[in-house]
Amino acid sequence: MNVHELEERVSAAKRETLARGETFYPGPSRIHLAAFPPKERWDEWIDVGPRGEERRVLLVPTTCFNCEAACGLLAYVDRETLQVRKFEGNPEHPGSRGRNCAKGPATLNQVTDPDRILFPLKRAGKRGEGRWEQVSWDEALDDIAARIRRALVEGRPNEIMYHVGRPGEDGYAERVLAAWGVDGHNSHTNVCSSGGRAGYAFWMGLDRPSPDHANAKVILLVSSHLESGHYFNPHAQRILEGKQRGAKLVVLDTRLSNTATHADHWLAPYPGSEPAILLAIANELIRTARYDREFVRRWWNWQEYLEREHPEVEPTFEAFERVLGELYASYTFEHAERESGVAAETLREVAELVASAGTRLATHVWRSAAAGNLGGWQVSRCLFLLNALLGAIATEGGTYPNAWNKFVPRPIYVPPHPGSWNELTWPREYPLAMFELSYLLPYFLREGRGRLEVYFTRVYNPVWTNPDGFAWIEALTDESLVGLHVALTPTWSETAFFADYILPMGVGSERHDLHSYEQYDGRWLGFRQPVLRAARERLGHPVRDTREVNPGEVWEENELWIELSWRIDPDGSLGIRRFFESRERPGEKLTVDEYYRYIFERSVPGLPERAAAEGLDPLAYMRRYGGYEVDRGIGPVFAERVPEEELVDVRVDERGRVYTRAPRPDSPNLVPLPSPEGDAEGRRPVGVLVEGEIVRGFPTPSGKLEFYSPTLADWGWPELAIPTAPRSHVHPDALEEGQAVLISTFRLPVQIHTRSANAKWLDEIAHTNPLWIHPSHAERIGVRTGDLVRVETEIGYFVVKAWVTEGIRPGIVACSHHMGRWKLGDAGQRQMMATVALEHEQGRWAMRRRSGAEPFRSNDPDTTRIWWTDVGVHQNLTFPVQPDPVSGQHCWHQRVRVRRAKPGDAYGDIAVDTERAWAAYRRWLDLARPADRHSPTGERRPYWLLRPLKPAREAYRLPERADA
């Protein structure tokens, strides 16, 4: 048959196949054909195995749980065995659109991990001794519930705390705690994104960026978003789309990261100098009048700035422009070069690029420099200044405030705000902190500021993740400080070793959650569900309790919290049970089906209609597809006119803030929003008067973008009230002779914190963290790749291998996150945890590695093939706590000395001096400006700022003043 005949034969076969209503081509994305199994075949799909074997599978969607991006997964469930064969991307998920990073498919490893915790465990010996006994869920829950009930009845609500690493469903845990009436939410955010959040929040009230990368002309990242970080997969694919359409990518990253390698302009600044660079670009825009004057005139609170800071100046926009020019005139490219080490000429080129972007400038920072430096929150404040100058806010290709691209549907119950204030999480020293001062908890407990009766750690590993993990061990092993520690975790962690109960939680395919994240200018919902439950239900076998389908007795949290709440308040006398009762069957427990049915039927606009069009009810639709886009193209909400019905007995103040007596309309979307104060007569802020029109504005006190933050000025930080470049604690002037800066927070693309150590595919790819060191630095100290070096911090040292590379600036060293996992004995995760010995004597801790990872026999033959022994070094143990006095963010960068290892040093050695750790804590605490000295209102914190689990207003009063 010649090729012409073959062409005809293929065409005929295609015609015949299409005529039968089937797909001819399998959908290789590279030739632009259908890329995924057609959704009408998800009940009965034939999957081809590695050797051509065919399997009948059901395709069931869920949501990845390995990072916050919440990308869609599609589980291939074998119809014969009802086991998950693999996970691929869910094409129906609006955020990830069928694409995943390595961590998504590796969920399968987490499901089948031979070391996973399958049953509730209770400690058998002393806390931390490593002896466990299996107990029933009933026994564990009765014990925990009784302690919580006693604490509540005895008026000790602040002794109940829930400390979360990876949050599940938006607001679910907060509502549980609110139902219990406790201010007990604690998060990991202050070791993560508080710095980034603060900079955004002081500008616009909302604390996250939602860049429209795909439509940008210039993308400016102070992050490594093509490889890691929050929303990296949804963002990375849109950044690449933007690049394919011709966008230029500018990356600020001290390391030559994978993201930097894709940049059109890679700037490798000295750590902490990022604000100086950003302000130099801003200065260029201002100096050359290449900013959007109309946008600035309409939407910045420049009048307030002039009135308060320059009363001598006539309050006109032209006068403000003059002042603005003077404010930033000293931020020249030459100044930025001196600070950052990046050539002025390069910075000028980047500034030209930024200027050319107009309203299509997509910018992003989340952790990175914002989480590394004292004053790091000014990185996001200075970055967003560029958007604010160009008017690139909520524009196509610009950057949106997150809340406008997020949808949190109203659930069946919304309990009231708790009436108490917990100073263990919200101490008065940090009134402006974005989130809880979680990593200072051991210090606060040791100082006697409080104790905990029941402490939940939930998918959180503070002993490993937080700075000064030994302080955590000391607190967790002291039963007078922590009465009961309950670790809710799918896998072993260094923190779980110090628990009283370990309660096994499901991984991404074994639990329910609802997510919505700002990943483009649209709002979507992603539904995480136990896939075997959904599969069985699709095959006609209803499931009442997720434990019926999960491995062992692994549970999910939604059902757990309902059950636990009933046990705390079995007769309803505490007023808790009512928030966990069925409405369909009064007096009975709420089920997850009813909970989600309520949401999908009543709180998600358009979903019932979309489902009906396919002959499904809304819950069945979400179980089948796992994702739903509520709407897209939200646009500039701030410029929308306020509808007439919301304007009742309106008052407009002298700066244009508009107040109304009309009640806030009910919204099905409960996305957290700031709550600017009303006027003295009881009206609520509803908008802002711009050019004679009442428009929504921004959720800030002024209703405008707050170039000048009166909040910062009034609460003790007037010198930081406008975007500025504070001096980092690792500024060259702050270093002693011979000191270097250690960057410790960068991630590896295939790992996620400590949660993915139970994924063998990921571990095989990435399992160590050598110290990046520049050749000139290495030569100076006589070190070559592979040599052991001792990295000395303020409180101790760790011993690690060197990796000599030009991918890092001279004088800076870097060591990745994720690595250095350890266990004390047999219990633990064997493929990524070294076995160590701990010594503690007179305030000094030492850790020494006894053995690395080793092959072992299990039900997975791959565990006999483990070829790596090195699992990296746990550097965080040697870091002192370094709270930023404004944002509360732990400032991760470290001042260190790097030396050749000393005789007797061994790989993985750790030593820490607790006294020095305490001294560092006190020194940083002294930087704070406490509310009881600086609060202008007699309250603990500006009420308008976002706060998780916001207490009732009365609880905001500082006790001394309340007494007075």
Partner 1 sequence: MSELLRALAVLSEPPSRQAARVADVLGLGRAPSRVEWTELFQLELPPYASIYLGGEGWIGGEARDRVAGFWRALGLVPPAEPDHLAALLGLYAEAQEAGAPESVLRALLWEHLLSWLPVYLAKTGELAPDPYRRWAELIEETLLVEAARLPSERLVPLHLRETGTVLDPREAGAEAFLETLLAPARSGVLLTRADVRNAARDLHLGLRVGERSFALRALLAQDAEATLRWLAAEAEQWAERHRRHGGALAPVDELWAQRAERTAALLEELAQTIGKEVSRV
**Binding residues vs partner 1 (CB under 8 A):** 1-4, 6-7, 9-11, 13-14, 17, 23-33, 46-52, 54, 240-241, 244-245
C-alpha distances out from residue 608 to 63, 505, 671, Å? 21, 31, 21
CB of 33 to partner 1, least distance (A): 8
For partner 1, the closer of residues 246 and 615 by Cβ is: 246
**Does an H or E element contain 399, and which?**
strand 399-401
Contact status, residue 941 vs residue 431, Cβ threshold 8 Å: yes
**The 3-state secondary structure of 104-166, one letter per residue:** CCCHHHHHHCCCCCCCCEEECCCCCCCCEEECCHHHHHHHHHHHHHHHHHCCCHHHEEEEECC
Find where tokens 């394919």 sit: 244
CA distance 732 to 640: 47
Nearer to partner 1, 36 or 715 (CB): 36
Per-position DSSP letters for 222-262, written without gaps between them = SS-TTTSSTTHHHHHHHHHHHHHTT-EEEEE-SB--HHHHT
Q: How far is the CB of 48 from partner 1 (least distance, A)?
A: 5
- Least separation in angstroms between residue 804's CB and partner 1 is 17
Our measurement of the distance from residue 923's CA atom to the centroid of its chain's CA atoms, rounded to an integer in Å, reads 28
CB of 630 to partner 1, least distance (A): 27
Give the nearer residue to partner 1 in terms of CB position, either 88 or 169: 88
Provide, rounded to whole angstroms, the least separation between the CB of residue 13 and partner 1. 4
User: Which lies closer to partner 1 via its Cβ, residue 208 or residue 243?
Assistant: 243
Beta-sheet pairing, 771-773 with 796-804: parallel
Report in angstroms the alpha-carbon separations of 599 from 133, 428, 606: 39, 37, 12
Minimum Å gap between C-beta 53 and partner 1 is 9
User: HEC states along 768-793?
Assistant: CCCEEECHHHHHHHCCCCCCEEEEEC
Residue pair 214/362 in contact by the 8 Å Cβ criterion:
no
Shortest reach from residue 741's CB to partner 1, in Å: 32
Strand order in the sheet with 513-515: 513-515, 522-528, 627-632
Q: Which of 255, 861, 181, 878 is nearest to 579 (CA)?
A: 181
Residue number, 28 or 605, with CB nearest to partner 1? 28
Residue whose CB is less far from partner 1, 8 or 139 = 8
For residue 448, give every residue at least 6 positions away whose Cβ sits within 8 Å of its Cβ, in sequence order, or none. none
Indicate the residue among 75 and 611 with the shorter CB distance to partner 1: 75
Nearest-approach distance from CB 249 to partner 1, in angstroms: 15
Closer residue to partner 1 in complex, CB, 48/612: 48
CB of 57 to partner 1, least distance (A): 11
The residue (of 18 and 414) whose beta carbon lies closer to partner 1 is: 18
**Toward partner 1, which CB reaches closer, 246 or 665?**
246
Q: Please identify, using beta-carbon distances, which residue of 9 and 126 lies nearer to partner 1.
A: 9
620-631: buried (b, 16+ CB within 10 Å) or exposed (e) per residue? bbbbbbbbbbbe
CB of 265: closest distance to partner 1 in angstroms? 17
Give whichever of 11 and 330 is closer to partner 1, judged by the CB atom.
Answer: 11
Reference 205, options 942, 788, 963; nearest CA is 942
Closest among 362, 351, 312 to 328, alpha carbons compared: 351
Q: What's the rounded Cα separation, in Å, for the pair 673 and 189?
A: 18
Q: Residue 46 or 329: which CB sits closer to partner 1? A: 46
- C-alpha torsion sign, points 140, 146, 151, 157: positive
Determine the Cα angle at 386 with ends 384 and 391, to 5°: 95
Alpha carbon distance 87, 626 (integer Å): 14
Angle of CA points 208, 209, 212, to nearest 5°: 155
Instruction: State the minimum distance, in angstroms, from the CB of residue 76 to partner 1.
Output: 13
* CB nearer to partner 1: pick between 246 and 782: 246
754: left (phi over 0), alpha (psi -120 to 50) or beta: alpha
Q: How far is the CB of 9 from partner 1 (least distance, A)?
A: 6
How far from 181 is each of 583, 601, 698, CA to CA, in Å? 21, 28, 31
Residue type, 151: A
Q: Report the residue number, 35 or 919, with the smaller CB distance to partner 1.
A: 35
For residue 56, the minimal CB distance to partner 1 (Å) is 11
Please, which residue, 52 or 692, has the CB nearer to partner 1? 52
* Shortest reach from residue 46's CB to partner 1, in Å: 5
At its nearest, how many Å lie between partner 1 and the CB of residue 831? Answer: 23
CB of 88 to partner 1, least distance (A): 11
Least spacing, CB of residue 86 vs partner 1, in Å: 12
The number of residues making up the chain comes to 964
C-beta of 3 vs 613, nearer to partner 1:
3
3-state secondary structure 821-857: CEECCCCCCCCCCEEEEEEEECCEEEEEEEECCCCCC
What are the structure tokens assigned to 423, written together? 């100073």
Q: Tokens representing 7?
A: 């062409």
Residue type, 460: Y
Q: Which residue has the tokens 């049915």?
A: 597
Residues in contact with 924: Cβ distance below 8 Å, sequence separation at least 6, in sequence order: 880, 881, 882, 883, 885
Tell how far CA 618 is from the center of its chain. 29
Q: Which residues contact 560 (CB under 8 A, 6 or more apart)?
A: 488, 503, 505
If the CB atoms of residues 15 and 902 are measured against partner 1, the closer one turns out to be 15
Minimum distance from CB of 763 to partner 1 (Å)?
21
